[in-house]
């Protein structure tokens, strides 16, 4: 029996040593909630990182980040255009319905869980402009997408242009934003594009329990502050969340961690050939393989999720061991 080799998910990965250090350094009692020096520094630090003014709020989970961001853009009687397989639609336990007070998700199509202006129009153009049908108020895209694919800057720009034309807010779920940014050669601004709000992921990338919601449309942040408290997400020792985020920004740890995860994914991808269902542009691999083949891999000590009946999902993380990645690459190659 080999020891377990984790490819289940990046969401339970270890916390990076620099994050631990930063948290320890934040221990001393301070102004509660977000009155501490670290929380107060977030706006400036993120504005710097993105080269664009923004307001940054910490929250504990990506679900809260996404829903708080959307709640500032979408009235209860409105809707959010998102991909049919978006995390907010599939995996947040109905949180958008809760935070948005019954607003509706308007589902659109798109390859590898990425929307395009055309698929968005296909979803919203048939909506009659009357009170009997829920009108779109915002668009939400995921960078990298739920299938590990990155929107290119001009793709985001085209969606932003459509959003502007239609008067819609534009939100980006960046649970794996770092992986997309690393893939796109490291520019935060480039990976984000002209969006109104970003859920900047940290937990999957070596954090413990802090994500940031960034408002580039800074007028939206005030509502988010009230809603964060109202949702029980204003922690009294917020300094520990701020510390995690700042540790990530310091020296671009967020990009370094993502590069490591991406590199491990690429190593595996190199041996997958046409088993790959989606291009590998972040740290997730969706790999065609039979139940027998999956059983073979599990016998070799690899942990991962089945993806439907004839595929496996492998996720790498900042702490994926190089030899585990190599071993998986070889194992898949040898199937």
Instruction: For the segment 101-120, give every residue that binds a second copy (CB under 8 A).
Output: 101-104
Is 264 a binder of a second copy (CB under 8 A)?
A: no
Is 159 a binder of a second copy (CB under 8 A)?
A: no
Q: Is the CB of residue 236 less than 8 Å from the CB of residue 33?
A: yes
Contacts for 196 with CB less than 8 Å, ≥ 6 apart? 73, 169, 170, 171, 215, 216, 217, 220
Is 167 a binder of a second copy (CB under 8 A)?
A: no
CB of 241 to a second copy, least distance (A): 8
Q: Which of 41, 157, 189, 223 binds a second copy (CB under 8 A)?
A: 223
The whole-angstrom distance between residue 276's C-alpha and the CA centroid of its chain comes to: 21
CB of 116 to a second copy, least distance (A): 23
- DSSP classification of residue 4: P
- Which residues ranging from 185 to 204 are in contact with a second copy (CB under 8 A)? 203-204
Nearest to 182 by CA among 113, 281, 270: 281
Instruction: Round to whole Å and give the CA distance between 95 and 100.
Output: 8
Q: Which of 38, 69, 73, 95 binds a second copy (CB under 8 A)?
A: 95
Q: Is the CB of residue 195 less than 8 Å from the CB of residue 172?
A: yes
Is 94 a binder of a second copy (CB under 8 A)?
A: yes
- The residue among 67 and 160 lying less far from a second copy, judged by its C-beta, is 67
- The residue among 63 and 142 lying less far from a second copy, judged by its C-beta, is 63
Q: Which of 229, 291, 305, 306 binds a second copy (CB under 8 A)?
A: 229
Is 157 a binder of a second copy (CB under 8 A)?
A: no
Instruction: Round to whole Å and give the CA distance between 63 and 96.
Output: 8
CB of 54 to a second copy, least distance (A): 19
Contacts for 172 with CB less than 8 Å, ≥ 6 apart? 140, 141, 142, 143, 156, 192, 193, 195, 197, 198, 199
- The residue among 134 and 276 lying less far from a second copy, judged by its C-beta, is 134
Is 234 a binder of a second copy (CB under 8 A)?
A: yes
Q: Which of 20, 121, 157, 293 binds a second copy (CB under 8 A)?
A: 20
Is 321 a binder of a second copy (CB under 8 A)?
A: no
- The residue among 15 and 218 lying less far from a second copy, judged by its C-beta, is 15
Assign residue 94 a region (left: φ > 0; alpha: ψ between -120 and 50; beta: otherwise).
left
Contacts for 321 with CB less than 8 Å, ≥ 6 apart? 5
Q: Which of 231, 276, 327, 335 binds a second copy (CB under 8 A)?
A: 231
Is 30 a binder of a second copy (CB under 8 A)?
A: yes
Stretch that binds a second copy, among 85-93, 143-151, 166-174, 246-254 (CB under 8 A): 85-93
Q: Which of 83, 228, 259, 313 binds a second copy (CB under 8 A)?
A: 228
Total number of residues that touch a second copy (CB under 8 A): 72
**Cα R_g (the chain), whole angstroms:** 20
- The residue among 14 and 122 lying less far from a second copy, judged by its C-beta, is 14
Is 27 a binder of a second copy (CB under 8 A)?
A: yes
Helix runs in the chain, H state only: 17-25, 37-50, 62-71, 87-90, 95-99, 117-124, 153-166, 177-183, 188-192, 221-230, 239-249, 253-269, 291-299, 322-333
CB of 317 to a second copy, least distance (A): 8
Is 218 a binder of a second copy (CB under 8 A)?
A: no
How is 122-148 classified by DSSP, letter by letter?
HHHTTS-SSTTSPEEEEEEEESS-TTS
Local structure of 170: helix, strand or coil: strand
Is 260 a binder of a second copy (CB under 8 A)?
A: no
């Amino acid at each position: 029996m080999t020891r377990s080799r984790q490819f289940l998910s990046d969401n339970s990965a270890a916390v990076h040593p620099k994050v631990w250090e930063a948290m320890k350094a934040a221990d001393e009692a301070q102004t509660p909630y977000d009155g501490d020096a670290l929380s107060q520094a977030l706006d400036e630090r993120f504005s710097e990182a993105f080269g664009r003014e923004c307001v940054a709020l910490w929250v504990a989970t990506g679900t809260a980040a996404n829903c708080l961001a959307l709640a500032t853009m979408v009235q209860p009687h409105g809707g959010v255009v998102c991909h049919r397989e978006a995390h907010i639609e599939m995996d947040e336990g109905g949180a958008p319905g809760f935070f948005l007070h019954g607003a509706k998700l308007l589902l659109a199509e798109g390859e590898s869980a990425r929307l395009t202006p055309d698929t968005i129009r296909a979803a919203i153009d048939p909506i009659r402009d009357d009170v009997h049908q829920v009108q779109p108020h915002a668009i939400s895209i995921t960078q990298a997408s739920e299938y590990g694919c990155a929107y290119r800057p001009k793709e985001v720009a085209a969606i932003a242009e459509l959003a502007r034309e239609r008067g819609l807010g534009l939100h980006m779920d960046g649970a794996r934003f770092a992986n997309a940014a690393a893939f796109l050669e490291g520019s935060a601004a480039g990976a984000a594009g002209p969006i109104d709000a970003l859920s900047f992921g940290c937990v999957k990338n070596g954090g413990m329990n802090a994500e940031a919601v960034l408002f580039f449309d800074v007028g939206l942040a005030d509502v988010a502050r009230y809603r964060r408290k109202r949702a029980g997400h204003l922690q009294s020792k917020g300094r520990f969340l701020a510390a995690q985020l700042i540790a990530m920004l310091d020296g671009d740890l967020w990009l370094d961690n993502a590069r490591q995860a991406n590199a491990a994914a690429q190593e595996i991808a190199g041996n997958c050939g046409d088993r790959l269902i989606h291009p590998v542009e972040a740290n997730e691999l969706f790999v065609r393989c039979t139940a027998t083949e999956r059983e073979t891999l599990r016998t070799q000590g690899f942990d991962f999720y089945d993806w439907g009946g004839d595929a496996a999902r492998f996720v790498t993380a900042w702490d994926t061991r190089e030899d585990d990645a190599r071993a998986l690459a070889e194992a898949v190659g040898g199937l």
